[in-house]
Amino acid sequence: MRDRKNDEGGRASGRRARGELESGVLAALWAADEPLTARQVQERLPADLAYTTVLTILSRLHDKGMLVRHPAGRGYAFAPVRDEASETAVRMHSLLERGSDREAVLTRFVSELSQQDEQLLQRLLGEQDAGRGDDGP
């Protein structure tokens, strides 16, 4: 039996986590102006992934409801259901919902922001308040 070296995350060297591969595929699709076939996605990825691996990732993302697919030749072309900003916001909201203490989570989140991001968040919240007028909640 061969002894395989592990990286710091405990994975065998040279292997990537499924989430990392899915993120790469989503990034390629978000950067595209149109739906992409598995071959087109494969060509846009920096890693040297097998076509079947890319196809598996696309199928899993479709099954999770993150991609739509359209007939293209003998296969499909895939496109994200949401843009990158919307998908990130959904993930952030989901994580916030899992926490038992929303105030603590939000306080920690804000404390970890860069000064520029904190100013941006304050500006965005101010714009939202202004849009609500005086009779907002």
What pLDDT was estimated at residue 10? 44
What pLDDT was estimated at residue 7? 43
| Closest of 70, 76, 83, 74 to residue 29, by C-alpha | 83
What pLDDT was estimated at residue 133? 65
Mean pLDDT of 74-93: 94
Residue 9 has pLDDT above 60, yes or no: no
Confirm or reject CATH 1.20.1640.10 for domain 18-80, answering yes or no.
Answer: no
Residue 67 has pLDDT above 90, yes or no: yes
pTM exceeds 0.85 for this model: no
